[in-house]
Amino acid sequence: MREGISMSGLALEGITKQFGSFTAVEEVTLAVPHGTFVCLLGPSGCGKTTLLRMIAGLETPSDGHIRLDGADITGLPTHRRDFGMVFQSLALFPHLNVADNIAYALRIRGVPAEQRRRRVEELLQLVHLPGYAERPVARLSGGQRQRVAIARALAVSPKLFLLDEPLSALDAKLREAMQVELRQLQQKLGITTIVVTHDQREAMTMADLVVVMGEGRIRQAASPIEIYRRPADSFVADFIGSTNLLEVARDGQGRAVVAGVALSGLALPEGVAQARLSVRPEDVHLTAPGDGRLTGTVTFLRDLGGTIETYVEVAGTTVVAVSTPRERPDVAAGATVGVLLPPEHCVVLRQ
Ligand code: ATP
């Protein structure tokens, strides 16, 4: 048996899941300290839900171990894990009212009626639904239903709170509001929480730790800002926010050369002849054309009110620069401009 990587909190050690010959999750190793809000993020089919289901005990890993506070829980049945779950497959009981839905697990555990009533009141306060105890769930809005599902999952003060795309059925406005609410709730309770989402904005809003997955593997696990500022590879850079990905080569002096221009202040490590450079659109500066900088032609301006995107063609590649109305570039389509890529904002990516 392998050594536990962390005694306190949740530890995933080399978790693999195969369905027949297909590998849905491959060698996932991750340490989640107590009180952390984790978002499992990635495109459809990358294995997020399968990983969450293994943590929940709804699926058995083909290989690897899951530990909680050092104890191996890999084979422990779901009902003995004491986890709170909000999964699409665990819909609210339609024939029960709000209070009975929330108190369901408490009733099964034989908690006395008066204690259950008080706990339901407390949880309804927590999810901003005071006074809704007697309401049939059929008469709730989508957002209210999700709040009740969250309250139901929290009723027994779970050790781990697991949610699979909890906000995906809500409209954009409500979804954004609920992201903030969910984060605030988690911080208030200090509960270790793992949420599956394919929405990078959602992950950036809520998570302490973003785990980007691709084809069953962890591509990067770090804080939202680290993932955004220092993406590990092109997959992560492209998946999180939008970015400019440029081919870069190393010249004889080790300088980074993009479209025939050596960028001052940026070097490629020895042994790396070619790589890709990620530069966020808000970091690209447009200037007058001049020596020692990239030159391009403005092809399109997209004015979104709050931000302005300028599309510049540089040696056959489109570079996007984003600015605010206050710093609006004084250019029109067809203009020749200089394109400045500040070295401190250029990230050389693994291919
Ligand atoms: P989505 O965002 O679309 O829900 P996901 O990242 O959550 O995607 P999973 O549901 O974990 O992805 O599925 C990962 C892969 O494993 C997919 O290719 C899926 O078809 C496959 N898979 C999942 N469950 C099973 C199963 N029970 N039997 C066979 N293949 C499965």
Q: Given pLDDT bands bounded at 50, 70 and 90, which one contains residue 4?
A: very low
Segment 133-152 mean pLDDT:
91
Of all protein residues, whose CA lies closest to atom 25 belonging to ligand 1?
A: 19
The ligand 1 atom nearest the CA atom of 50? 11
Q: Whose CA is nearest to atom 23 of ligand 1?
A: 50
Q: Which of 168 and 62 is assigned the larger pLDDT?
A: 62
Is the pLDDT score of 252 beyond 90?
no
pLDDT of residue 308: 94
Query: Average pLDDT for residues 6-19, to the nearest whole number?
Result: 91
Neighbours of 159 (CB within 10 A): 16
Q: Is residue 61 predicted with pLDDT exceeding 50?
A: yes
Per-residue pLDDT of 192-228, as tens digits, reads 999 999 999 999 999 999 999 999 999 999 999 999 9
Residues of the chain above pLDDT 70, percent = 97
Ligand 1 pocket test: pick from 48, 51, 52, 53 the residue with the most ligand atoms within 8 Å of its Cβ.
48
Of 332, 348, 339, residue with least CA distance to 300:
332
**For ligand 1, is residue 24 a contact (CB within 6 Å)?**
yes
Query: Are residues 338 and 290 in contact, defined by beta-carbon separation less than 8 angstroms?
Result: yes
* Nearest Cα to Cα of residue 241 among 252, 251, 228: 228
Q: Could you tell me the CA-to-CA distances from 173 to 58, 184, 224, 277 in Å, in that order? A: 32, 17, 22, 34
% residues pLDDT > 90 (the chain): 69
Q: 217 CB less than 6 Å from ligand 1?
A: no
Q: Whose CA is nearest to atom 9 of ligand 1?
A: 47
CA of 45 to the centre of ligand 1 (A): 5
For residue 292, the model assigns a pLDDT of: 66
| Closest listed residue to residue 106, CA positions, set 150, 170, 155 | 155
3-state DSSP call for residue 181?
A: helix
Average pLDDT over residues 227-255: 90
Paired residues of 319 in beta bridges: 312
User: Which atom of ligand 1 lies at the shortest distance from residue 59's CA?
Assistant: 27
Closest residue by Cα to residue 86 from 174, 148, 178, 172: 148
Q: Is pLDDT at 340 greater than 70 in this prediction?
A: yes
Among the listed ranges 31-35, 48-52, 247-251, which one has the minimum average pLDDT value?
A: 247-251
Q: What is the mean pLDDT of residues 318-337?
A: 90
The mean pLDDT value for 7-29 works out to 95
